[in-house]
Amino acid sequence: MTSTTTVAEPSSLPAIAKGEPAAALALAEGASVAEAARKAGVSDRTIRRRLDDPEYRMEISRLRGKILDAAVGKLVAATGDAVNSLRELLSAVSEHVRLGAAKAILEMGLSLQEALTTHARITTLEEEFSVRRRRRITEVG
């Protein structure tokens, strides 16, 4: 699997990934065990053994999160241009093109509203959970 987003240089990876930083990054990007082993120059067995380590799997998960964050950042940066393009298409000569642009804007608007509402609800629940947890720790301690 090829990635156009460089998230981390092998030398900057946390200690848990230092053994096979190329493998950790490849696995985070969705490579198979065999592909990751080949990129790291180690055996499949070595990668499988590393994957038995919960800390190694957690590091791969953190790397994957960084990759996704970088991709989301690029999408967000392009959103304004995409919306402007769709708005321009609303004035197109072709009725079919205008209809497609209108549908896309409405669908994306509703989807975005739903995502924002869900995010707000989750944030509220996490905050409530944190407050209750701190209260419980204070009561016990």
At 28-63, the pLDDT tens digits run 999 999 999 999 999 999 999 999 999 999 999 999
Average pLDDT value for the chain: 87
Cα within 13 Å of Cα(139), Cβ side: 6
Q: CB–CB of 46/20 below 8 Å? A: yes
Write out the two tokens for 120. 């707000």
Cα within 13 Å of Cα(51), Cβ side: 17
Distance CA 48, CA 53 (A): 9
Q: Is the pLDDT of residue 1 over 50?
A: no
Residue 138, pLDDT score? 85
Task: Tell me if the pTM is above 0.95.
Answer: no
